[in-house]
Amino acid sequence: MTYSVLMGRADKADTARGDFVDADNKAMTETGQVGASLRGFKSGPAFAPFLTRWKKQVSYVEGLLKNDVAGALRASAADFEVRDKDEADRYKNSRKGKNGGADDKPDLK
């Protein structure tokens, strides 16, 4: 796993979120027209709470994709980058040895 792989996956999660929101917007445009056509039917009054609940659920899923998926991937990528740099620095410093010579061997105690 690398920083760039994690960031790439975060970008894909953002793309999925955008696609999800776009699909929902298109569906809601059409679905929003249904309520008026149900006037006079027994099921008509149930449509408004359905729309309210649907909007809340879509908002919840969007938030999960944005914060819990993409956000967590980006945070992990940042942590990974810091740890990777720390490991590289530790390795470079151990190769220099105590006297800074290229031939010094690292202390493996």
* pLDDT (0 to 100) of residue 53: 94
Q: pTM to 2 decimals?
A: 0.69
Q: For 17-73, what is each residue's pLDDT tens digit?
A: 999 999 999 999 888 888 778 888 888 888 889 899 999 999 999 999 999 999 999
d(CA 33, CA 51): 11
Q: Say if CB 50 and CB 34 are below 8 A apart.
A: no
* pLDDT (0 to 100) of residue 46: 85
d(CA 7, CA 73): 7
The one-character DSSP state at 103 is T
* pLDDT (0 to 100) of residue 98: 52
pLDDT (mean) for 5-20: 96
Q: Say if CB 94 and CB 42 are below 8 A apart.
A: no
d(CA 53, CA 48): 9
pLDDT (mean) for 5-15: 96
